[in-house]
Structure 1
Amino acid sequence: MKAPAPKKINKLLEIHHDARVDPYYWMNDLKDPDVMAYLEAENAYCKYRLKHTDVLQETIFQEITGRIKQEDQSVPYLKNHYWYQTRYRTGAQQPQYWRWPDQNQDHEELLWDSEEAQAGHAYYHAGSGNVSPDNQKNVFGEDTKGRRIYTLRIKDLSVGKMLSDTIPNTSGYAVWSADSQSIYYAVKDDKLRPCTIKKHILGQPIEQDVVVYHEADETFVTFVQKSKSEDYLFIGSSSTVSDEYRYLKMQNPEEGWHLFLPRQRHLEYSLDHHRDHFFIRTNWEAVNFRLMRCPVERTSRTHWEEVLPHDPAGYLDDVEVFRDHLVTLSRAGASKEVCIFDLNTMDYFTVPFPEEARNVEFDRNPEFNAAKVRVQYTSLVTPPSVIDVRLDNGEQEILKVQEVVGGYEASNYQSERIWAQGKDGVSIPVSLVYRKDLWTPGRSPGLLYGYGSYGISIDPYFSIPRLSLLDRGFVYAIAHIRGGQELGRNWYEQGKLKAKRNTFEDFIACGQALIDRHYVCAEGLGAMGGSAGGLLVGAAMNMAPGLFSAVVAAVPFVDVVTTMLDDSIPLTTGEYDEWGNPQEPEYYKLMKSYSPYDNIETKPYPALLVTAGLHDSQVQYWEPAK
């Protein structure tokens, strides 16, 4: 079978006295029958070319599924006098959501069965559910296309039946009013941007829903959330570099919404509530963020006071506010740590964790009066663990460790953290793992993974599917490159906009370091990345085509210039502060210099697997297709 040869219709794209010719621009039009014909031909060709691996694929599939516990459940969490739990059944692709009253598990009730709900749908995802303050109703979102457009539905838990209220075209999450008679939710526009907050009163036609707030700036998205204390409702508007919040007293909604602080370019902040104060995590005069507070009645910056000062060497990643304690999640030297503060004395201690290359995240902590904070811990060799940590003394209780069916011995595997030297001399952390008895210095194959955009950090994590790779002698590595925030906010700033090429050069440096230090063989290194990580591996193989033997580009963002010039495509306008706006000549030239689709040349390339999602709202199908 020959590779598909799609038709070529040259499209001239001109701007800034520069011309590009795109022979596959026609693929943007899904109404053209040749588009689906081409996509189907590519799928058939892929199946043909990989046919010799069918037995291996089935073997690996059975290995992976055989290690996954089919009958499983999450650790229950307490919220408003009820315990909540997610359960998985053997053979099911979707979970069930259950709850029961505190102290009485005999009265379990099924909130929602996603496996049953997905019947008849090729795709199904249920958004986050939210139970009303009176514990009688549950609102949740459903996406049946895969474009992250959710329809809100409401179940009356007192009778176990769905209400007629159905709200389409939302972000999938809603917040209840204090009286449990109405919900607040975000509506998406035709570019899939959450832009409008509405209030829906139960039983009324959705046409009568009131617009509470509309975000007119197309570089911002808006959302609604509740403080942990449940005393305040927040409407947030966020762009890449700015935030703005409004707040409403839950018990006195007639007072109306108040603007907390007007937006200011390059000023970011988020809010929570604690008694008479709002707590503010902000980058105001603090590149790595700090924690401040102000009285709830006086929110201008003249009334802000510092709670936790800025740490030039540590990034304040997240904060949980409890009645008597404050818990921070921060980064220092590419490792994450948890600190617990007594809000009365501000005495604190750091919660100890054993491995340097680790990941710690907050789990669900909905109770303001809780005596413990719940976290999830994992590493490249440690399965995810759910841990409760006492706020008064740091005592840890491991509630669950992910089970690997058939057994797993962590001591058989080695996790390491090395540092590669970037093109400009900067040190770049690389986390890696391999099976000790199968690793041969300088002769082992390897897979390097990276992302490096939006300030998203790719922390070390355990993976059941990865075991099938390690058990075949592979070294797996994560490149913590600039564009993420593993080493603080400046690490992100050095990998965006005019400094974006640092991201790609860092990835290349990490790959070269694995070879130079004999972790992998020169002819056996592969690379993998998805979405913006697909841009990463695409740019890297254009810049260093001989470095990688194979590349997996999952739903890759590869047609950077054309996409960022088209403000009708979802996400484009909101990302000018990440990539730049190619309407400006300087950014056009920069993007064109690294855009993978614009830099393909006649030269040897790695073996390449590209995947696309037909209804993907983040990266349109035509980018990987082209």
Structure 2
Amino acid sequence: SRSFLYTVLDDAHRPYKVYLHRLGEKQDADVLVHHEKDDAVYCAVSLSRSRRFIFIDLHAKTTSEVRYVPADRPEARPRLVARRRAGIEYGVDHAGDHFFVTHNERATNFKIVRAPLASPGRKHWRTVVAHRHDVLIEGVELFADHLVVHERQRGLPHISIRDHAGKAGFRIGFREQAYDVGPGRNPIFDTDKLRFTYTSLVTPASVYEYDMRSRRRVLLKRTPVLGGYQPSKYRTERIWAPGPGGEVPISLVYRRGTRRNGRNPLLLSGYGSYGLSRDPTFSSVRLSLIDRGVVFAIAHIRGGSELGRRWYEHGKFLRKKNTFVDFIACAEHLIRRRYTSPPHLAITGGSAGGLLMGAVLNMRPELFGVVLAAVPFVDILNTMLDPTLPLTVTEYDEWGNPADPRYYRYIKSYGPYENVRPQAYPKMLVTAGLNDPRVGFWEPAKWVARLRDVKTDDNELLLKTEMGSGHFGASGRYNMFKEIAFEYAYLLTRLGVEPGAPPDVR
């Protein structure tokens, strides 16, 4: 309560220094605790749930290092847990007489070890939860008597509860075919109660409290949905599309009674980068589409981590094209199963998901009827060649450095801007933000200009630039709703959906 640690940013908006400030003293007297000189590494500060240690987390995309100080002596010299090694990630927490380390050294999907507080280095690591080829460890929550592991198997997240030795484990069960579950707010260390948040494409975000001894759960709160929402009117399911790298999961939601006749308007969403899993979560505004007969689908393609760390690694660097062929395979499967057909199929993705849109359009434009590309990362080659831009250097671990001829040639072979060619493209709405620090507004602008110059069709191609927005759209709830309403109106009219209110609210 007498001092705190904080980070400061460099010119590229990278947290690169950690300072100690004592309350009541001038900022000029603040002590530099750590200066990170590697341009690819970010600094962060966190407190263990036990409140005994402060961790200084130093992390790049695929490499990390952790230092620590006692929380009651923040002025102490930070001690190292384990020196960084290229391609090795680890995180640290504390309980009892041990640090618990989650790492991926010779463990692609991560494992959990523990080490004594006095000697936390690698040679003292002892396995608590072993590596499993079919289960990805995504996070750990430590309590006085419990080890909670957030893990993923067959595309679905799970919560596993064990003791500190890793034994006596069990999972909390969930019934829906496709869902998302994650940690809630759990600030108390010495407790048997675990809070987690559950949601699905038909279930609004719900906070549960779970007794880890009695295994009983209590629903504390569910996000209200105005307008008389009835989950029983909707159906969610998980199907699998055959792909060149194995089956690809697809999550779907639609109104009950929807027939697979090949004429349903369908919106297929995708991302597939950075190892981020695109989980099936609830959206009240999406009901506006579904109630008008639109089927909504998520393609869980390579580049994300839905099927484990290898699912991610097989969708990056010199394997990035796997992301695109997986998305195309999902679209083809939905058409083959008669959920929709090309004229009724709309696709959407933003940022790196916008790169996905650009790539699949160049590869298979005839497969899609309408496209919504939000702040799309479509000039990847030129952006990655400019290390002065924010994020470029840290992105080398995702796309590769095009200063290396191998990566230059590969990125150029799929880059949306470079691969626009004379052919027919579907109807398109492209958005940009003038103040976007991640994807410069010039990227979608020059891509649209090239498309207009080269494409052979007369389909509309709209570029909508928000003059006051950044990467995540306009600020303010109502401005956000206006943006969504514009995009939904575009999708519905171009898909040929009858204007007016949904049948249930007319």
* TM-score of Structure 1 vs Structure 2, range by shorter chain: 0.7 to 0.9
Instruction: Note the C-alpha offset of 1:438.
Output: 4.1
2:434 is aligned to 614
Cα deviation 1:93-119 (Å, max 9, x = unaligned) = xxxxxxxxxxxxxxxxxxxxxxxxxxx
- Supply the AA of the counterpart residue of 1:213: H
Structure 2 distance, partners of 1:584, 1:452, is 24
Task: Decide which of 294, 303, 306 is 1:486's aligned counterpart.
Answer: 306
Cα deviation 1:223-263 (Å, max 9, x = unaligned) = 11111111001111111111101000112345421011110
The answer to whether the 8 Å contact 1:439/1:474 transfers is: no
SS in 2 for 1:306: strand
SS in 2 for 1:328: strand
Judge which range, 290-299 or 608-617, deviates more: 608-617
Task: Decide which of 329, 347, 351 is 2:150's aligned counterpart.
Answer: 329
Whether 2:198 is the aligned partner of 1:377: answer: yes
1:534 is aligned to 354
Whether 2:12 is the aligned partner of 1:207: answer: no
The answer to whether the 8 Å contact 1:438/1:471 transfers is: no
**CA 1:208–1:254 in 2, change beyond 3 Å: closer, same or farther?**
closer
SS in 2 for 1:597: coil
2:100 is aligned to 279
**CA 1:440–1:254 in 2, change beyond 3 Å: closer, same or farther?**
closer
- Supply the AA of the counterpart residue of 2:307: L
Instruction: Note the C-alpha offset of 1:600.
Output: 1.4
2:123 is aligned to 302
Over 4 Å off, 4+ runs? none
Task: Decide which of 260, 263, 286 is 1:443's aligned counterpart.
Answer: 263
Task: Decide which of 387, 390, 415 is 1:570's aligned counterpart.
Answer: 390
- Supply the AA of the counterpart residue of 1:244: E
SS in 2 for 1:476: strand
The answer to whether the 8 Å contact 2:342/2:366 transfers is: no
Structure 2 distance, partners of 1:208, 1:551, is 54
Whether 2:336 is the aligned partner of 1:516: answer: yes
- Supply the AA of the counterpart residue of 1:616: D
Instruction: Note the C-alpha offset of 1:220.
Output: 1.0
2:58 is aligned to 237
Instruction: Note the C-alpha offset of 1:437.
Output: 2.7
Task: Decide which of 132, 143, 151 is 1:311's aligned counterpart.
Answer: 132
- Supply the AA of the counterpart residue of 2:191: A
SS in 1 for 2:189: coil
- Supply the AA of the counterpart residue of 1:261: A
Whether 2:452 is the aligned partner of 1:452: answer: no
SS in 2 for 1:587: helix
Instruction: Note the C-alpha offset of 1:209.
Output: 2.4
- Supply the AA of the counterpart residue of 1:589: R
2:472 is aligned to none
The answer to whether the 8 Å contact 1:382/1:410 transfers is: yes
SS in 2 for 1:217: coil
1:55 is aligned to none
Instruction: Note the C-alpha offset of 1:442.
Output: 1.0
Task: Decide which of 241, 247, 258 is 2:79's aligned counterpart.
Answer: 258
Instruction: Note the C-alpha offset of 1:328.
Output: 0.9
**CA 1:309–1:345 in 2, change beyond 3 Å: closer, same or farther?**
closer
- Supply the AA of the counterpart residue of 1:407: G
The answer to whether the 8 Å contact 2:300/2:306 transfers is: yes
Structure 2 distance, partners of 1:545, 1:598, is 16
Instruction: Note the C-alpha offset of 1:208.
Output: 3.1
Structure 2 distance, partners of 1:302, 1:409, is 56
Structure 1 distance, partners of 2:326, 2:187, is 39
- Supply the AA of the counterpart residue of 1:494: H
- Supply the AA of the counterpart residue of 1:200: H
* Structure 1: gaps (5+ residues): 1-179
**CA 1:300–1:440 in 2, change beyond 3 Å: closer, same or farther?**
closer
Instruction: Note the C-alpha offset of 1:538.
Output: 1.1
Where do 1:132-281 residues align within 5 Å? Answer: 180-281=1-102
The answer to whether the 8 Å contact 2:20/2:75 transfers is: no
Structure 2 distance, partners of 1:311, 1:397, is 31
Task: Decide which of 341, 349, 371 is 2:162's aligned counterpart.
Answer: 341
**CA 1:563–1:322 in 2, change beyond 3 Å: closer, same or farther?**
same
Structure 1 distance, partners of 2:22, 2:287, is 50
1:60 is aligned to none
Cα deviation 1:119-163 (Å, max 9, x = unaligned) = xxxxxxxxxxxxxxxxxxxxxxxxxxxxxxxxxxxxxxxxxxxxx
The answer to whether the 8 Å contact 2:381/2:402 transfers is: yes
Task: Decide which of 110, 114, 133 is 1:289's aligned counterpart.
Answer: 110
SS in 1 for 2:343: coil
2:297 is aligned to 477
Whether 2:422 is the aligned partner of 1:602: answer: yes
SS in 2 for 1:380: coil
Which of the pair has more CA radius of gyration? 1
Quote the sequence identity (%).
48
Cα deviation 1:438-491 (Å, max 9, x = unaligned) = 444211010000110000000111110110111111110000000000000000
Structure 2 distance, partners of 1:475, 1:343, is 44
Cα deviation 1:326-360 (Å, max 9, x = unaligned) = 11111111111111113378212211111121100
The answer to whether the 8 Å contact 1:380/1:462 transfers is: yes
The answer to whether the 8 Å contact 1:439/1:473 transfers is: no
Instruction: Note the C-alpha offset of 1:623.
Output: 1.2
**CA 1:345–1:309 in 2, change beyond 3 Å: closer, same or farther?**
closer
Structure 1 distance, partners of 2:438, 2:205, is 28
Structure 2 distance, partners of 1:605, 1:203, is 63
SS in 2 for 1:465: coil
Whether 2:184 is the aligned partner of 1:363: answer: yes
Instruction: Note the C-alpha offset of 1:625.
Output: 2.0
Structure 2 distance, partners of 1:586, 1:345, is 44
The answer to whether the 8 Å contact 1:232/1:250 transfers is: yes
- Supply the AA of the counterpart residue of 2:257: D
- Supply the AA of the counterpart residue of 2:185: R
1:106 is aligned to none
Structure 2 distance, partners of 1:441, 1:427, is 24
Where do 1:70-149 residues align within 5 Å? Answer: none
Whether 2:208 is the aligned partner of 1:387: answer: yes
The answer to whether the 8 Å contact 1:524/1:549 transfers is: yes
Instruction: Note the C-alpha offset of 1:203.
Output: 3.5
Structure 2 distance, partners of 1:564, 1:204, is 43
SS in 1 for 2:437: coil
Structure 2 distance, partners of 1:360, 1:597, is 37
Structure 2 distance, partners of 1:199, 1:299, is 24
Q: How many residues align?
A: 446
What value does the CA root-mean-square deviation take over the aligned residues? 1.3
SS in 1 for 2:433: coil
Instruction: Note the C-alpha offset of 1:566.
Output: 0.4
Task: Decide which of 170, 174, 178 is 1:353's aligned counterpart.
Answer: 174
* Structure 2: gaps (5+ residues): 447-506
